[in-house]
Structure 1
Amino acid sequence: MNEEDIYDVTIIGGGPAGMYAAFYAGMRDMKVKIIEGKDQLGGFLHTYAEKTIWDVGGLPPMKCSKLIEWLVQQANTFNPRIVLNCKVERFTRLNNGIWSMYTTEGDIHYTRTIIVAVGRGIAEIQKLELQEPIEYEQENLHYTVQNPEHFSGKRVLISGGGNSAVDWAIELAKLAHSVVVIHRNNEFRAMERNVSEMNNITDVRTPYSITQLHNNGKRIQQVVITHMESQDNVVLEVDEVVISHGYKSNLSDLASCGLEMDDGMVLMSHHAQTSLPGVFAAGDCATHESKVRLIAGAFNDAIVAVNSAKQYMTPDAPQMAYVSSHNEIFREKNRQIPSL
């Protein structure tokens, strides 16, 4: 192990928290590496690339794909080393305090600190729990919406109770002939304002679940929904069915590294410190009592994690980076921006 092989901070995960951590660590003049398990940065944001994002501070509403593009550009500001298609299997602390990180590909990465920002891990879609749905997945059964225009003028059924289901209901109501939303509970787990809008512009039915699919060839033509309490059935004529039941994720590898977990997530302090010295956490994979599960919250997690990592390495370092308007590291970069 040579000194040039050792990074100040290695970020596991290339989603919003990981990308912003890379940028902010660059502001703190740290040598940065990102290790991402997939073939591109962006993390879980890619699952709803066509959705419109409203709640990132200071940015106008935009497609999530555009937000990914801007985050990737920002993450590369200080030229971190980015390793794609690589999954960290475990990490151990050496006698000299350096962490060695072992990947499923057989490589070893060395780092002084670690920021775990794996989001929801390798997420698997929660599929419709019926015998026959797989045969319709190439036709009109969807687990995400890639092209909203595909639903124009059609009768759409959406099943789900979270933010994604509600957001897609609002989005598709502008295009579809009709949108019916069903949820197995009476309450939706989504932003109240969006739930109110959905109730005004779609046909919401609760508490119902899908119990049967009737086909015409390879396409679903009718869906039987059953009331969760009375067990009464209703038959709906449909053109397209969207299942938004969330994702299953498995972060058990992190527990095997010695990280303390809480309900499947990494437990961290308000300073982003985990149960392991020099290992910090940020984003959806982590939890504490004041956790904010928004993209904006992931950015804040990233800042706290980087600042804690910097002070772990250099205890007398300032608690945070200078703001960008006063930070000397941006002086030359500002000159390179034509509009300034």
Structure 2
Amino acid sequence: MVQDNTCYDVTIIGGGPAGLYAAFYSGMRDLKTKVIEHEKELGGKINVYKEKTIWDVGGLPPTNGSQLISQLIDQSSTFRPTIALGEQVVDIQRMNNGLFHITTNKNRNHYSKTIILATGYGILRQAKLNIEGAEVFETSNLHYTVTNLEQFRQKHVVISGGGNSAVDWANELEPMAKSVTVVHRRDQFGGHETFVARMRQSSVDILTPYAIDDVKASPDGCCIEQVTLKHCENEQCHFQETDAVIVNHGYQPDLSFLDHHPLGLQVEERRLRTSPQMETSASGIFAAGDISNHSSSIPLIAGAFTEAGLAVNAAKLYIHPNAARYARVSSHNDRFKTTTV
């Protein structure tokens, strides 16, 4: 087993928006910080939506996911935290001296005085189209995310799903595609109201309650040329020609490292119960972002930033009970006098 005996003040598990902002703010609080991320790149779930426009971050104009990731990474690196990529946490133990021993799937040891869990909904397994043989089209025109909007220009696009992603892609593609059809099992959409209203008022064709029941391959078998849409109540079928199919059926979260409830963490509906200060039921372990469950949580990136700051402040007070409750603002923080941003 690889040995790393360095002990950090804060180890952040998860390199998405909450984890990255926690890394920055932890540096503001003069804490020795490490980030462990199971993917080989930082950014978390936003990596799935690099071309998607993000509207709900305070002080930023509408920004695509790729740019937001870049800016978050730049900000998080201000105080040079240690970054461990491609490592999945498999166990957390409290040692006799009170420090945490974190083990990953790479047989690496990590030691820390406190932990901030910023894992989002865990390792995300994309929910795929439940049609036999559909996977062969994933290399041509069956998409589970959008990495290049231009590939859909002047194309007939079918989008399956009713959440934020489906609604957002419909609005993004409507001005450039030849046609956009959204298929959803329910009449009501789960996306943000403003963007659902925009979609309904546009030229997007909305078919509810329908679901993709089958796909028909082109003569050469390389791509989908037609989808069969079945009505979810009367089972009548509608056949639609298409150039591209985008499936946004959500994700199946994998929080397997919580299955054993390490250190007595209280799990509610696959999330951790936390106090308003982001404290979990295990002393020294805090949470921020989608993994946390408390009465005032807001499921927005902006909310994750606030929770990250609260978690870091709680970790600082855990280590140094007489410390200030929060960091001074960056405009007059001494740390920035010697830090190049």
TM-score normalized by the length of structure 2: 0.95
1:205 aligns with 2:207: yes
Match in the other structure for 1:277: 283
Within 2, Cα distance between the matches of 1:240 and 1:107?
43
Q: Which amino acid aligns with 1:272?
A: M
Conserved in 2, the CA contact under 8 Å of 1:252 and 1:264?
A: no
Measured in 1, the distance between the counterparts of 2:5 and 2:179 equals 60
**Structure 1: which amino acid aligns with 2:258?**
L
In 2: Cα distance, 1:102 partner to 1:149 partner: 43
1:3 Cα offset (Å): 11
What's 2:255 paired with? 251
Report the counterpart of residue 14 of structure 1 in structure 2: 15
Q: Which amino acid aligns with 1:275?
A: S
- Return the match for 2:337 from 328, 331, 334: 331
Alignment of 1:298 onto 2:304: yes
Contact 2:210 2:230 in 1 (8 A): yes
Q: 1:214 aligns with which of 210, 213, 216?
A: 216
> In structure 2, the residue corresponding to 1:137 is in which secondary structure?
helix
Residue type at the aligned position of 2:216:
H
Matched, 1:240 2:244: yes
Distance in 1 (alpha carbons) for counterparts of 2:314 and 2:71:
25
Residues 57 and 119 of structure 1: CA distance in aligned 2, closer, same or farther (over 3 Å): same
Equivalent AA in structure 2 for residue 218 of structure 1: C
The amino acid of 1:200's aligned partner reads Q
Superposition misfits of 4+ residues, deviation over 6 angstroms: none
Q: Could you tell me whether the CA contact under 8 Å between 2:5 and 2:111 is conserved in 1?
A: no
Q: Distance in 2 between matches of 1:148 and 1:43?
A: 21
Supply the AA of the counterpart residue of 1:205: L
In the TM superposition, what is the alpha-carbon distance from 1:132 to its structure 2 partner? Answer: 2.2
For residue 294 of structure 2, what is the aligned residue in structure 1?
Answer: 288
Looking at structure 2, the residues matched to 3 and 223 of structure 1 have their Cα atoms a distance apart, in angstroms, of 53
| AA in 2 matched with 1:243 | V
Structure 1 distance, partners of 2:198, 2:146, is 20
Give, as a single letter, the amino acid of the residue that structure 1 aligns with 2:247: I
Between the aligned partners of 1:81 and 1:280, the Cα distance in structure 2 is: 19
CA distance in 1, matches of 2:274, 2:309: 14
| Number of the residue aligned with 2:33 | 32
Letter in structure 2 aligned against 1:251: L
Contact (CA 8 Å) 2:160, 2:182: kept in 1 or not?
A: yes
Q: What corresponds to 1:318 in structure 2?
A: 324
Shift of residue 168, structure 1, vs aligned partner = 0.3
Q: Normalising to structure 1: TM-score of the pair?
A: 0.95
**8 Å CA contact 1:89, 1:104 repeated in 2:** yes
| CA distance in 2: counterparts of 1:255 and 1:141, whole angstroms | 33
Indicate how the Cα distance of structure 1 residues 255 and 315 shifts in structure 2: closer, same or farther if over 3 A, else same. farther
Shift of 1:200: 1.5
Q: Give the match's secondary structure for 2:198.
A: helix
Do the aligned residues in 1 keep the contact of 2:155 with 2:178 (CA within 8 Å)? yes
How far apart are 1:252 and its partner, in Å?
2.5
Q: Tell me, which stretches of 5 or more residues in structure 2 are unaligned?
A: none
* Partner in structure 2 of residue 91 of structure 1: 92
Q: Is the 8 A contact 2:158 2:181 kept in 1?
A: yes
Q: How does 1:148-187 map to 2 (within 5 A)?
A: 148-187=149-188
For residues 269-319 of structure 1, the C-alpha deviation after alignment (integer angstroms, 9 at most, x for no partner) is: 111011111000011222212211111111011001000011111111111
Q: How many residues align?
A: 334
Per-residue CA deviation, residues 67-122 of structure 1 (Å, 9 max, x unaligned), is 11111011010011111111111111112111111111112111100000111211
Mapped to 1, the partners of 2:331 and 2:75 lie a distance apart of: 16
Work out the percentage of aligned pairs sharing the same amino acid.
48
Over the aligned positions, Cα root-mean-square deviation in angstroms equals: 1.5
Equivalent-residue separation in structure 2 for 1:266 and 1:308 (angstroms):
16
Task: Name the aligned partner's letter for residue 206 of structure 2.
Answer: V
Deviation at 1:31, TM superposition (A): 0.6
For residue 235 of structure 2, what is the amino acid of its counterpart?
A: Q
Q: Is the 8 A contact 1:44 1:120 kept in 2?
A: no
Q: Is this contact kept in 1: 2:89–2:104, CA < 8 A? A: yes
How far residue 4 of structure 1 moved from its aligned partner, in angstroms, is 7.2
Alpha-carbon distance, 1:255 to partner: 3.6
1:37 deviates by 1.0
What displacement does 1:326 show?
A: 2.4
Worse-superposed segment, 155-164 or 208-217: 208-217
Please say if residues 5 and 110 of structure 2, whose CA atoms lie closer than 8 Å, have aligned partners that are also in contact.
no
